[in-house]
Amino acid sequence: SKPLEGKVSVVTGAASGIGLATAKRLVKDGSIVFIADLHEDALAKAVSEIGSNAIPIVADVSKVSDIKKLFETVKDSPKGGRVDVLFANAGIAAAAPIGSISEELYDRIFSVNAKGVLFTVQEALPLLGKGSSVILTSSIDNFKGLPGYSLYGATKAAVRSFARTWTADLTKSRGIRVNVVSPGPIVTPMFEAGAGEVKAKIIASQVPIGRNGRPEEIANVVAFLASDASSFIAGAEIQADGGLAQI
């Protein structure tokens, strides 16, 4: 049987890139997947690619009221009622050297990447139970200094820290595993918008594996962390970066 047969999953930032590839993979592995993102049209397109086991929900994770509605919908859905796998993945990036970070940018990035993840997990708590797997998307930037990414990196360091402390808070008491995937350069709309074609090639040449990653290669990691194959892994970070963090 499939590794996630009969499971209920929630993926945020699921209309594009890593979230979309992961939603596809979790459905392929047998799960029902509630896919959350900002825009109805992008979600409809995602459903048309994934199929009817993907259920779209419009939600902005920077707004706690939206997150509450998201999990009310999951709770009340005949296909939901609980959450076995939660992939808190929605995030935004912006390169900004220290001298050019505005207060507005600071608030916006923290409110999606850090606040969004914290309240996504908080609002999911009543629906999570023993054996549930929570996976958070951090980034290589959480521990490696990349020029211009101090603000983004700080939000992703917060995400890494959440998983550590939530392991203390949730794993022993409730049997919920919380783990982190930290992607390196992955070719998604976010990456292409930030890097451009020339810079993307330069980055690829620096990666020990010799190329940038594909969203499916992060989906593989999330599918592993979602499944019982990772049943003894809690509070861990998996770096999926072609070795870039090591050089």
143: exposed, middle or buried (C-beta count within 10 Å: 0-12, 13-18, 19+)?
A: middle
By rule CB under 6 A, what count of residues binds ligand NAD? 29
Report which of 130, 148, 48 is spatially closest to residue 93, judged by C-alpha positions: 148
Q: Running DSSP on this structure, what letter comes out for residue 185?
A: S
Check if 106 is active-site: no
Q: How far apart are CA 219 and CA 23, in angstroms?
A: 8
Cβ 154 to ligand NAD shortest distance, Å: 12
Q: How far apart are CA 126 and CA 225, in angstroms?
A: 21
Binding mask 21-50 for ligand NAD (x = CB under 6 A): ----------------xx------------
Q: How far apart are CA 198 and CA 217, in angstroms?
A: 22
159 near 136, Cβ under 8 Å? yes
Report which of 17, 27, 18, 79 is spatially closest to residue 50, judged by C-alpha positions: 27
Does residue 183 interact with ligand NAD by CB under 6 A? yes
Q: How far apart are CA 57 and CA 38, in angstroms?
A: 9
Minimum CB distance to ligand NAD smaller for 88 or for 127? 88
Does residue 188 interact with ligand NAD by CB under 6 A? yes
Site for ligand NAD in 81-110 (CB under 6 A): 89-93
Three-state DSSP at 224 gives helix
Cβ 1 to ligand NAD shortest distance, Å: 29
Does residue 185 interact with ligand NAD by CB under 6 A? yes
The CA–CA distances, whole Å, from 215 to 16, 113, 196, 222, 227 equal: 9, 19, 17, 11, 18
Cβ 57 to ligand NAD shortest distance, Å: 10
Stretch that binds ligand NAD, among 26-34, 97-105, 125-133, 187-195 (CB under 6 A): 187-195
Does residue 221 interact with ligand NAD by CB under 6 A? no
Minimum CB distance to ligand NAD smaller for 133 or for 138? 138
Q: Which residue has the tokens 């939603």?
A: 23
Catalytic one among 149, 152, 162, 191? 152
Does residue 240 interact with ligand NAD by CB under 6 A? no
Does residue 186 interact with ligand NAD by CB under 6 A? yes
Does residue 242 interact with ligand NAD by CB under 6 A? no
State the catalytic residues. 152
- Residues binding ligand NAD (CB under 6 A): 12-13, 15-19, 37-38, 59-62, 89-93, 112, 116, 137, 139, 183, 185-186, 188-191
